[in-house]
Amino acid sequence: MRPPVATIDLGALRHNLAVVRSRVADARILAVVKADAYGHGLLRAADAFRVGADAFACSGVMEAVALREHGISQPVVALLGFQDEEELRLASRHRIDLTVHCVKQLAMLETARLVKPVRIWLKFNTGMNRLGFPIERAQELLAAISALPAVLPGPVVMTHLACADEPGTLEVGSQIRRFDDVRWLPDTEQSIANSAGVLAWPESHRQWVRPGLILYGCSPFEHCTGGEFGLKPAMTIDAPVIAVNRIPAGNRVGYGGAWEAKADGWLATVAAGYGDGYPRHARNGTPVLINGRRYGLAGRVSMDLVTVDLGQDESVAIGDTATLWGAGLPVEEVAASASTICYELLCSAGSRIRTEAIDSLPAMPAVSTMDASLRSA
């Protein structure tokens, strides 16, 4: 029996990068490839973005080192910075940019003796309240860090938007105003925009934008899909149909009998489950695509299997392919039906899934029809 397959479309990745480029004018693109490029493969995605991305961002230093060893020559930023002196020395050796967000990191930089100074992205808190220095200390900290021999001149200043995925929110404007209340030097490079900022908040673009999710074809906004912004899904999860059975009216399906047949019909059993990263809490009726037609999930998701209500359709056969999300079935819909977010699904595909890469024909970025409604919602 063949295992589930994750097909990664390199052409879709390049297309999505082109969509971002069409939206950000002269801003430079820091392509976020953390969490194994949102489950798409760190090195595979880096190769797809190698032409077009101005820099790359990952979570930690070791991911950044992997990009350097793969031959990535653009700047690479470790978004969580460094945790100890060993990581700081690694960053220096491999020319890795580092986010600095806490006093401990500053203290290590003050005493560091590095082969080469490192470039710093100085992070300030304007409302996310996770990482970053108080924005009120910006000028003080910039002066302090600029005096350190271990630091290259001209750090980038950055903050992170907490509610950019909420159309119409006032919080984005408040965060940007807090950031802009600082009298930055004219040549200070800034970075604010995440994926949602790229799509809906052009005032956040600045010199650097940091797209992540949208590079993989997904929308950061609830009730929207990436296709509505001209994006293409880069990951498609397929699994084989391994059984088709008649089910009489009144019979229940799966653990706990969570789904009951309302009429005589047919069920397909598909060889994929939560052991492969399919969401355990996907509800009855969650869409599944078989032979280009949508059906609904029936019963609880098992470790290895899901069952699909075919109704009266007798056309599905053993060996047919079921698409769990991707081309033809937006992952955003599946995530909503499982009360989660598409980030989680993309990152959670299990080790049993075989991964294949294809390269579809490049396409011109589509024109979005969503912008006006997002800003006025």
- Beta carbons of 283 and 337 less than 8 angstroms apart: yes
| 53 within a domain of the structure (yes/no) | yes
* Nearest Cα residue to 40 out of 212, 187, 235: 235
Domain tally, the chain? 2
List the CATH number of the domain containing 200.
Answer: 3.20.20.10
List the CATH number of the domain containing 323.
Answer: 2.40.37.10
* Average pLDDT score over residue span 294-302: 97
Choose the catalytic residue: 34, 38, 274, 343: 34
DSSP string over 242-310: EEEEEE-TT-EETGGG-EE-SSSEEEEEES--GGGT--TTPPTT-EEEETTEEEEE-S---SS-EEEEE
Same domain for 174 and 82, yes or no, is yes
* Nearest Cα residue to 130 out of 169, 111, 102: 102
Position with higher pLDDT, 244 vs 351:
244
Same domain for 82 and 157, yes or no, is yes
Please report, for the chain, how many H helices and E strands are present, in that order.
12, 19
Same domain for 207 and 320, yes or no, is no
| 139 within a domain of the structure (yes/no) | yes
DSSP string over 25-62: TT-EEEEE-HHHHHTT-HHHHHHHHTTT-SEEEESSHH
Domain that holds residue 130: 10-225
> Which H or E element spans position 236?
strand 235-247
Choose the catalytic residue: 104, 255, 262, 295: 255
| 41 within a domain of the structure (yes/no) | yes
Res 43 pLDDT > 70: yes
Q: How confident is the model at residue 352 (pLDDT cuts 50, 70, 90)?
A: confident
Same domain for 217 and 240, yes or no, is no
Same domain for 169 and 284, yes or no, is no
Res 368 pLDDT > 90: no
Q: How confident is the model at residue 361 (pLDDT cuts 50, 70, 90)?
A: low
Same domain for 81 and 37, yes or no, is yes
- Beta carbons of 77 and 120 less than 8 angstroms apart: no
| 189 within a domain of the structure (yes/no) | yes
- Beta carbons of 88 and 59 less than 8 angstroms apart: no
| 361 within a domain of the structure (yes/no) | no
pLDDT value at residue 153: 94
pLDDT value at residue 283: 96
Q: For 163, what's the count of Cα atoms within 13 Å in the CB-facing half-sphere?
A: 15
Q: How confident is the model at residue 375 (pLDDT cuts 50, 70, 90)?
A: very low
Res 369 pLDDT > 60: no
Q: Give the mean pLDDT of the chain.
A: 93
Q: How confident is the model at residue 349 (pLDDT cuts 50, 70, 90)?
A: confident
Same domain for 311 and 202, yes or no, is no
pLDDT value at residue 186: 86
The gap between the terminal CA atoms of the chain, to the nearest Å, is: 48
Res 28 pLDDT > 90: yes
Same domain for 285 and 166, yes or no, is no
Position with higher pLDDT, 312 vs 352:
312
- Beta carbons of 352 and 275 less than 8 angstroms apart: yes
Taking only the tens place, the pLDDT of each residue in 256-286 is: 999 999 999 999 999 999 999 999 999 999 9
* Average pLDDT score over residue span 231-247: 97
Taking only the tens place, the pLDDT of each residue in 54-86 is: 999 999 999 999 999 999 999 999 999 999 999
Query: Known catalytic residue: 255?
Result: yes
Domain boundary among 191, 207, 225: 225
- Beta carbons of 122 and 155 less than 8 angstroms apart: yes
Same domain for 213 and 241, yes or no, is no
Same domain for 278 and 186, yes or no, is no
* Average pLDDT score over residue span 156-168: 95
pLDDT value at residue 274: 94
Taking only the tens place, the pLDDT of each residue in 143-153 is: 999 899 999 99
Same domain for 85 and 120, yes or no, is yes
Domain boundary among 191, 225, 259: 225
Same domain for 140 and 244, yes or no, is no
| 30 within a domain of the structure (yes/no) | yes
**Strand stretches in 117-219, DSSP E:** 120-125, 133-134, 156-158, 190-191, 208-209
- Beta carbons of 94 and 87 less than 8 angstroms apart: no
Domain boundary among 225, 260, 277: 225
Would you call 146 exposed, middle or buried from its count of C-beta atoms within 10 A (0-12, 13-18, 19+)? Answer: middle
The two three-digit tokens of residue 148, written as one number: 């350190």
* Nearest Cα residue to 245 out of 253, 233, 255: 253
Position with higher pLDDT, 1 vs 124:
124
Query: Known catalytic residue: 34?
Result: yes
Could you give the percent of the chain with pLDDT greater than 90? 90
